[in-house]
Structure 1
Amino acid sequence: MTALPPDAPVIEARDLRKEFVVRVRAGRFRRTKRVVGAVDGIDLTVRRGEMIGYIGPNGAGKSTTLKMMTGVLSPSSGEVRVCGLPPVAQRVRLALRIGVVFGQRSQLWWDLPLRDSFDLLRHVYRVPAAEHAARLRRCRAELDLDGFLDIPVRQLSLGQRMRGELTAALLHGPEVLFLDEPTIGLDLVSRQAVRAFLAELGATGDTTLVLTTHDLADIERLCRRLVVIDHGRVVHDGSIEALHARYGSRRRVVADLEEPLAEPPVLPGAPLLRVEADGRRLVFACESATASEVVAGLARLVALRDIAIEEPDIEDVVARLYRAPAPTPAPTPAPAGDVAQGCSITSTAKVPGASAS
């Protein structure tokens, strides 16, 4: 297995595109072909050890991108390399270097105890026994697996199965871990356990994580870099703080007063958002003024009982981003000949650790 140079990107996509050809009704007995663009020119570079949040609304192209990066789907055009390999052409070699967890799909054997699934995966990936035992020991401790290792997978709760899926994806020591909705449907305790484990995994810097999710709390707790995709295109690539600054989300200062005021104070750079609790609570937005300036200004003007600073809600700012006008798609040429084969999103080949869904 050839290692990448330390400064080489682990994932590199250039003008990556994926189109599907679908047949639509054009009369009682006729069907016409229509090209649907799922991914429309994505450029992305991911370095070793990064934790990337890859988010977007339903139909934005998130899962399609992951399937191209894991070799399940072939790009219509453009180029993608993962661990220095073209995913489709080197699918088997790549499978030994990546791990994949899809929230609604399983790579475990449904009727076997969890322990037996792990042992079978050791042989599938050809992992030395000592390495396999060391990684399993770590996962057993950090994901608390011992209570259900001998229970058939079909009898596990969703939270237990997801912890098993994470373990299965990591036993061969992947360089990149792709996570598609890993906490979907989990209860609060299981969700916190999965987040804590992933945070610990990312902190070591040995594994690159690419996380797609609709749970923005996962992104806030795990990822420093956020890539937002909409209509198949990247509309933001940077920190969460940069996203807040770009789309105007603001901190809020909540002031509880000793006595209600006849007229709320006016603070430069901090508009009053609302008055609550019969005039005893004032909520200000920090625009050009900082939170400390707002607090200092209030302390000079009114008698304060309590003060709180609320961080901006990422859900609000992402919703604002999605409401922005959609990017204008490039004209799509008419398909030449019979290209209906491009509309299949499933594969009959078995890839260890990946799902074709």
Structure 2
Amino acid sequence: MSAEDVVPDALELFRSFSIFINVDFCAVGVSLCITAATISSFRRLLPEPRRKKLPFLLLSIVLSGLYVTNGVLDTYIVKTFLAFWVSEVDEAALYALLTPNATNSIVQTVASALANCTMIYRCYFLYSDRVWVLVVPILMECTSIGIGLFMAACDISTTEFSLDNHETSTLVASWFFLTISVDAIVTGLIVLKIVLVQRRTTNNLQGMYMTGSPGSTNIDKSRVWGRNGRKRSHHDAYMGVVGILVESSLPMAVMGIMAGVVRLTGQKWILVAVSESLWFALYTLCPQMMIFRLMRGRALEVHNGGYTSGTGEPISQPLAFAQHTTQESIRLELLPQT
């Protein structure tokens, strides 16, 4: 191979690794910031809600720790690979990267399993009356976890479970597409539920602003619209665009589909590396954002057959969201009920 052929390949390889590592470190910083904000919100909770939300805080910390570990391993793998690639010692490079690759494979499998299980649990929370819709994503996720653990075992063992390059590529592709399929299905279910609840809530809120005689369809626009011309919506805090994006982890699913398309179409290595690194970064950040939203009391929750944003009031009573606490109201609440 001539020098003219080697130099472009080397430059593309260096650019790919550079973008790959930069994405990792940026995502690590964002993950740590989200974790710190989640801990801060958790500390401001009352004792009872704090006990209920402690597992979610621990999950956020674990996801952040796994991603930090993944970033450190990626940096070491890239550095070691480049060092041996320059010296063209392939066998030594494979031996030096054996343990880091196996560890990184385990970390990615565990992180993806935790993220997907969090999404499935979130979907179960919203579809508790129709659990059967989760059968397919649960089976697919179990298969994905099994493939991931088998790949990790193959990386650890070099004798009994050794695979050739074609078999390894097939397993990696199977795990990858199963994982993004689970993302797409669960995200679609959550978005569908949120949109349906949003439509139902909008209809309920419009009924509160009806004017005229009973049965009239006239709406008092002065109550629906604020002084500045903006439409009032008591459920915008958790049913708006940002709410849908966070609740459903839509960016994670979209990025996973894009990474799958890039892989299938055989694009350049730099595109594959960037798309898959962004996808795995969102795999950690999206569940953490969901947990942070839960700590702030803005997540969609089930209450007496309805959906609220953690306020403890059914969605059919939106005006209760803006109640004011006074000394008189506190005194009346403390009086014994007769």
TM-score range, shorter chain: under 0.3
Structure having the larger proportion of residues in strand: 1
Q: TM-score, normalised by structure 1?
A: 0.23
Q: TM-score, normalised by structure 2?
A: 0.24
Structure having the larger proportion of residues in helix: 2
